[in-house]
Amino acid sequence: MDCYITVDDYQSRALFYYFVEAYTDPSSKPLLLWLDGGPGCSSLGVGAFVEHGPFRPKGDVLIQNHFSWNNVANILYVESPAGVGFSFSQNATFYTTVNDTITAQDNLVFLERWFEKFPEYKNRDFFISGESYAGHYVPQLATLILRSKLNIFNLKAIAEESGKIDVCIADEVNSYLNREDVQKALHAHLLGGLSNWSFCSFVLKYDKKNLLIPTIDTLGSLVHSGIRVLVYSGDEDAVIPLIGSRRLVNKLAKSLGLNTTLPYSPWFYNHQVGGWVETYGEKKILSFATVRGGAHQAPYTAPQRSLTLITAFLQGTNP
């Protein structure tokens, strides 16, 4: 099966996806879309093959990730925008014009057409999560979904995490995904001026002005619309320290007039502290959580606790 969805017929622009159904009873599990940031880094390489997909490269083989998130959800990894990973545009000038608006629009078109390809997932409980610069992608896409008012979407909540790629892990995944037999098995192609798969795109020239645009108001609008928002961070993340993220969430809660429904408190995994969590508003509409031992990418460095947190997120409960 071709693992591409065309998002622009005129420019022959298509996004590559990697879809893994839940281990057990996928028809009863929600659908989780995962986006990586950068801007320009691969959800396939980072999210699927480093953090929380079902398998990880180890030398010439794949090993099972026993704490994969598809224990609790059907996961859709999308390499976005075009120019990232195996996603491409036959009109290569596109790579010099990409910004947040284009990325969000392409992601929306992708989902609309993906649901046509997999109609059994229409109206399934739907969640969007991502890390790093996907802190732009995730809420902006969620906003477009709400504005579209299309009845194929049953968006419940979004989650954002900070993250950074570990170089040693990246080398192993990079070697694996550039193998010809692996690309054939994935139904992946190097088109639109792409000469090889890379963790982060060398052809994409993203509009850097977008990096300076805060998305906190976008999160506020989603909360106001009834979409649950979780912001979480590894407590050893030196790239985006949790203190700054927690302050932003606290400031957002105050601006929305949300009461604290759970003060900053420990949550537990296997009778040990798994991290800390605080929630605001009715039905835990806004939350901030940490993952103990999470550094750079919490699902890789603290897989058990990260799975516990994402399971609670999908269920609408505290971990």
What is the per-residue pLDDT across 48-99, written as a single tens digit (0 to 9) for each?
Answer: 999 999 999 988 889 999 999 999 999 999 999 999 999 999 999 999 999 9
The DSSP H or E segment spanning 88 is strand 88-89
Residue 22 and residue 72 in contact, taking contact as beta carbons nearer than 8 Å: yes
Handedness of CA 66, 165, 157, 155 (dihedral sign): negative
- The residues that bridge with 34 in the sheet, in sequence order, are 77, 129
- % of the chain at pLDDT higher than 90: 80
Alpha carbon separation from 151 to 85, 123, 227 (Å, rounded): 31, 7, 16
Q: Is 189 marked active-site?
A: no
- Whether the pLDDT of residue 216 is over 80: the answer is yes
Give the angle 61-194-85 at the CA atoms, nearest 5°.
50
Residue 236 has a pLDDT of 66
What pLDDT, on a 0 to 100 scale, did the predictor assign at position 298? 79
SS3 labels along 48-74: HHHHHCCEEEECCEEEECCCCHHHCCE
List of domains in the chain: 4-230 (3.40.50.1820)
68 is catalytic: no
Annotated catalytic residue, options 68, 237, 245, 306: 237
Which residues lie closer than 8 Å to 208 by C-beta, 6 or more apart? Answer: none
What is the rounded CA–CA span in Å between residue 80 and residue 57? 22
Active site residue 237: yes
How much is the pLDDT for 244? 81
**What DSSP character marks residue 233?**
E
The residue from 8, 87, 106, 296 that is catalytic is: 296
Mean pLDDT of 195-218: 91
> Could you say which of 68, 132, 162, 306 is catalytic?
132
38/44 Cα distance (integer angstroms): 13
Token pair listed for 64 = 């099972």
